[in-house]
Structure 1
């Protein structure tokens, strides 16, 4: 296992940066916007450039100077992977780098990013950045052209201040890095095969787990012959990481009794890092499961994770449907799961979205699982049935102002909107859930009851809303459990690892 994924045995134990690379290859990961402050938090995944250049001279899989040779070596690796191919990323020094960029400032010689107030333009800019590589110079002292950043040596580690400046690598190096760090090395799964996989699910209850600032949902059965309370499928298996590592419960637990498959909505680390937050007998059971994820532009961190799963005996399949294709998996005569990729441009907007539906019920209804995908990128095409269970996109972050927030069926008395976020989470100066995101949902007939829509997140909302925590000075933590017709009562899960905190049975 790459040391970047290690989680300390004790929550207060610190693992500082012991080595700071002087040069790194970086790929953009994501951004968070603070429109009021006119600033943007930018995050990048890094690999030590000196290490990669030296290793590439001996290992064709890592040769960024010869893209065609690297591509050929990876083709051979893909052929051998089912038989125990080696993990070329186990010793790779990888890092996360974060810094804030103020309005009007340029990024590594590129034109300035759009205004922090223009969410749609910024989303498009993020999509463009996801396709680029950068070469960074890193120093422990400020110099001409350097900007202050935070360097993280691991998912659950504390950062060290660093000063960076960057440039674009040569076109050959860019091609070589893209050849090394690509999801095309992994086997694929078709829509038909994913329909077959999801048809094995039970969906009597929907669990939204308390994983801190991250997302993890599961479909559960209440039928005795299916072992009630044991997840049949997870949708994301996240945890709070990097600047939000403190939000993740310690210890964290998931149930792997039936070795459930894990549908990964998209590649942000807070949607899969729970795989490294749970150990059983010093092993990581999530790494032995089947993972299914969308084809997206990724960096060193994500490829290292996927190949770690394969190296531990799990499967990693990449979902690559035709544009606009919608899958339909039949669970029972009265229940189905329809799914698609969002039609946005950036990673959040192209994730896998699931609608668990009961079309013949009166009224017809659904549960809607969104990951970080704005409704704008799937509702018009997927046309999900009105939800009685809805997991808010992106932990309740800002949505496009024209986002078509789904409304629940008319006349129902039981409906639940879940927000998955960590206590005191921070993204620069932004905190989830945001006033804008909450207000849009409240306007779509989701009653937030006790929440102040200007400062949401405390106290317990009540009304139609369930949350995995409260912000300070709150103390409430625990996953949400959602039914179809009424709050689940008298439900006790037989699996002791169902969740690290109690499920709110409502």
Structure 2
């Protein structure tokens, strides 16, 4: 399957094929979750130098995304000059050599039996669907007992990782994490956009329970912080070592298919995360027919549904978070992941006052710019762009479109500065009193690397 994330990132696009080795897949059970603990998909990520070389990929932009197109690819690893692609790493420094491959054939897979099995895996068929009560209980526990809610947009480079934290003890102690929304870092050749040293979101002190992760959608740059160490390619594909703190210690609430079979479709590399979480008993799949859920503390998780003119892809069929920052005035911070705002707000069960906003898709241009929510307090409301200065993010059009809706205060995580010995661009979004309090951050002896430098 084509890796939608690697393609749909900007003007300079890389076409990456994310696949499972045919023999490995033939040995698998009927569904992903029917397999014994010893079975692991043998997966490969191949970046093509020139996709148009292969007729099957000539009109890729017209039909491949979100419509279940699978390809049969034949390739071999080689150091010869006739190579036409490279193995795409999950993590790579600028001086990491690109291991070259020669792809000899790419054709659409027409075997209906194999395709149906692939689709069962890609849609997490047979996986443990959560109930509404279970989702609400997870969100209630995560959002309880927060004295001063803050939404932190971590500087992870060209990826997305946000957290709902309690800043009530600041400036005497660092904010405690209650919930992660996305758990991403940049992947492949975007990996060097991380700050130096790389920011570890799990270095923040947790609340009583290990904070759960709500995954917006299955693009790798939204979950790859769960990968520990430097994955490489062995004889049977990508060698992935999971960070046990991320996989074994916390629940993950993830999106899947929607009504009528539409919605999330996982590439084979993402199967491996779902399988690892399932084997630890930590995979919770969003109920297909549930539109939204509200916690007792007022935080919302909303299922995204594309509106007319917006693509039915992973970006627009996942989950969004709206975190309540102030009970008295009902002010929220909206985290859309990569979804268009129109895919979120039209499915919310009640209107929300958006005090702060994380920009959709790292600041990419929007199909429905008119759906940008108005800044509730244009003189104080803050817009955070989470990006790594790749692909021209944030786009000039996205900046101006947000300005036209009152988002006059804008911070980009790529704009890094040193504060109390740490250099990064993490942004903190909170109610306006926190802006005054956090002027004391630079003198806080308890400051850690995950504390925001912009508030």
TM-score, with structure 1 as normaliser: 0.70
1:467 match: 412
Output one character per residue of 1:446-483: Cα deviation in whole Å (capped at 9) or x when no partner. Answer: 12xxxxxxxxxxxxxxxx112222399xx962311121
- The within-5 A match list for 1:109-258 is 109=56, 112-113=59-60, 126-128=65-67, 131-139=68-76, 148-156=84-92, 158=96, 159-164=98-103, 165-169=105-109, 170-200=111-141, 201=143, 202=146, 204-223=149-168, 229-249=175-195, 250-253=197-200, 254=202, 255=204, 257=206, 258=209
- Shift in alpha-carbon separation, 1:309–1:87, aligned structure 2, 3 A: farther
- Shift in alpha-carbon separation, 1:51–1:493, aligned structure 2, 3 A: farther
- Structure 2 residue 407 is matched with structure 1 residue 440: no
Instruction: Check whether the contact 1:191–1:321 (CA below 8 A) recurs between aligned residues.
Output: no
5+ residue gaps in structure 2?
Answer: 231-241, 257-263, 307-311
- Structure 2 residue 342 is matched with structure 1 residue 369: no
1:271 match: 222
- Shift in alpha-carbon separation, 1:141–1:275, aligned structure 2, 3 A: closer
Q: Distance in 1 between matches of 2:328 and 2:428?
A: 21
Deviation at 1:126, TM superposition (A): 1.9
Deviation at 1:443, TM superposition (A): 1.8
- Structure 2 residue 437 is matched with structure 1 residue 503: no
1:98 match: 47
Instruction: Check whether the contact 1:229–1:492 (CA below 8 A) recurs between aligned residues.
Output: no
For residue 356 of structure 2, give the secondary structure of its aligned residue in structure 1.
strand
Deviation at 1:484, TM superposition (A): 0.8
Q: 2:324 is matched with which residue: 341, 353, 357? A: 357
Instruction: Check whether the contact 1:222–1:229 (CA below 8 A) recurs between aligned residues.
Output: yes
2:427 match: 480
For residue 469 of structure 1, give the secondary structure of its aligned residue in structure 2.
coil
- Structure 2 residue 348 is matched with structure 1 residue 348: no
Output one character per residue of 1:224-261: Cα deviation in whole Å (capped at 9) or x when no partner. Answer: 69x86110111011111111111124443223634111
- The within-5 A match list for 1:416-435 is 416-422=382-388, 424-425=389-390, 430-435=391-396
Instruction: Check whether the contact 1:469–1:476 (CA below 8 A) recurs between aligned residues.
Output: no
For residue 390 of structure 1, give the secondary structure of its aligned residue in structure 2.
strand
Instruction: Check whether the contact 1:397–1:432 (CA below 8 A) recurs between aligned residues.
Output: yes
RMSD: 3.6
Deviation at 1:395, TM superposition (A): 1.0
5+ residue gaps in structure 1?
Answer: 1-25, 62-69, 78-84, 115-121, 448-463
For residue 330 of structure 1, give the secondary structure of its aligned residue in structure 2.
coil
Q: Distance in 2 between matches of 1:483 and 1:265?
A: 21
- Structure 2 residue 293 is matched with structure 1 residue 327: yes
For residue 260 of structure 1, give the secondary structure of its aligned residue in structure 2.
coil
1:23 match: none
- Shift in alpha-carbon separation, 1:360–1:348, aligned structure 2, 3 A: same
Instruction: Check whether the contact 1:46–1:95 (CA below 8 A) recurs between aligned residues.
Output: yes
1:389 match: 356
Deviation at 1:397, TM superposition (A): 1.4
Instruction: Check whether the contact 1:421–1:467 (CA below 8 A) recurs between aligned residues.
Output: yes
